[in-house]
Chain A
């Protein structure tokens, strides 16, 4: 079963850019990622730039509104995600607890809907 692990953290916990503008993944995140690559459980994963870089799009009655910022103004903001493929929720929860962001922030574990495929219009 596939799960998305959504990492919500205090913005001040995000990594700082280094001298050439790149970002160094912390040693802990690197170690975790390597572990789940090795175990074959990793499907995907990325850190996200912080919520101040977000733009939110809403379309109402055919008209598009853009907002500077994330869709919800909360103290904890989305900082990254992993998609894992594991046997059951218990394993997904174990992995979530190993994510460094879980220590100060929260990791939401959500099952991914298995879509049976797109039906093409004939």
Chain B
């Protein structure tokens, strides 16, 4: 990719090299520097592909045909390549897929395809679009990389931070897509949360001192740890306060907390660390009643400074309601969210409905639950809200 500026050629060449490795290494033994071997074989295959594409006859191709050399001779030729070079390429690939010149859909598709290694079919199913659409999205994105000259490489410090921000945004998008879908859905659609966590681990390994990257990984581990408790035996949603906490993945929670502590020790706070801290407070509480809502309320106030969006305001209002009383939460919603503009947002109505119920304003709650049912995006959520509506009477 570094030499050819064309993701397709590089990808296909690497796959061919891997296939050849699978064939040759059992016969000849694995070369000492496997990564270097792969890279150099992939490179020569890529050169061949490009030559075939441009239809330029090359007299040197016979001599330069590295594929026919035995493994130990290739090693000698490529001693200059080292593990750090391969890691650099891996970071460069992730940065490339998440380049800001590509839109979010393109970034997500490319990252899942070229970094996570999902097939086009798997990605299409995960995002509930048909395969042709997803394939077209990938083709357009690769075309833009090639035609617009999006470079492959790891930029210097100031630029690198911006680019890593873009990667974190993509990983977070993938995680949220997975988290928002119901568990049974995820089974058919693919475990996007798992993929996002894997991507997060890869990124963390590449930039281990980056506080927000560490924070993001912690956040995902902590949120995903609760997955086994989120649906009941019928496949219906269980709210956080009613979940069976014994089903949560304790080991994963421990790992998440450890990572968060590491991140916070750098004193470079940011939105992902704050979100992770909120998740940690939930996960650490042995029961819903023991939840430190006052702390969570304070954390949401901090988070709003970084991410002043309706979603965060809504969640902050819930925390405010739990820390003080339902009326305070409702007041915060009214203050921070434009109810007219956001009228089609079902979560706004379901949240207000719940707070109104707790405040004893049953008629208002009924109206809000009804509206939420109409706007709910999935059957799981529709059932949940309908049950709540019925329970009012």
A contacts, CB < 8 Å to B = 1, 3, 87-90, 92-93, 109, 111
Contacts and interface: CB of A to CB of B under 8 A. Distances in A.
A111 B148 contact: yes
Nearest to B151: A88
B147 A111 contact: yes
Most chain B CB atoms below 10 A, which of A1, A89, A111: A89
- Please classify the interface of chain B as helix (H, G, I), strand (E, B), loop, or mixed, using the class held by over half of its residues: loop
Contacts of A1: 149
Given A3-B149, A89-B149, A109-B148, 15 more contacts: A1-B149, A87-B151, A88-B149, A88-B150, A88-B151, A89-B101, A89-B148, A90-B150, A90-B151, A90-B155, A92-B149, A93-B101, A111-B147, A111-B148, A111-B149
Nearest to B152: A88
Contacts of A111: 147-149
A88 B2 CA distance: 12
Interface of B: 101, 147-151, 155, 159
19 contacts: A1-B149, A87-B151, A88-B149, A88-B150, A88-B151, A89-B101, A89-B148, A89-B149, A89-B150, A89-B151, A90-B150, A90-B151, A90-B159, A92-B149, A93-B101, A109-B148, A111-B147, A111-B148, A111-B149
A93 B155 CA distance: 14
Contacts of A88: 149-151
A87 B151 CA distance: 9
Contacts of B148: 89, 109, 111
Nearest to B159: A90
A91 to B, nearest CB: 9
Contacts of B101: 89, 93
Contacts of B147: 111
Nearest to B101: A89
Closest 8 CB pairs of A and B: A88-B151, A89-B149, A1-B149, A88-B149, A111-B148, A89-B150, A89-B148, A90-B151
Contacts of B151: 87-90
Contacts of B150: 88-90
Most chain A CB atoms below 10 A, which of B149, B150, B155, B159: B149
Contacts of A87: 151
Contacts of A90: 150-151, 155, 159
A109 B149 CA distance: 11
A92 B148 CA distance: 10
A13 B155 CA distance: 34
A109 to B, nearest CB: 8
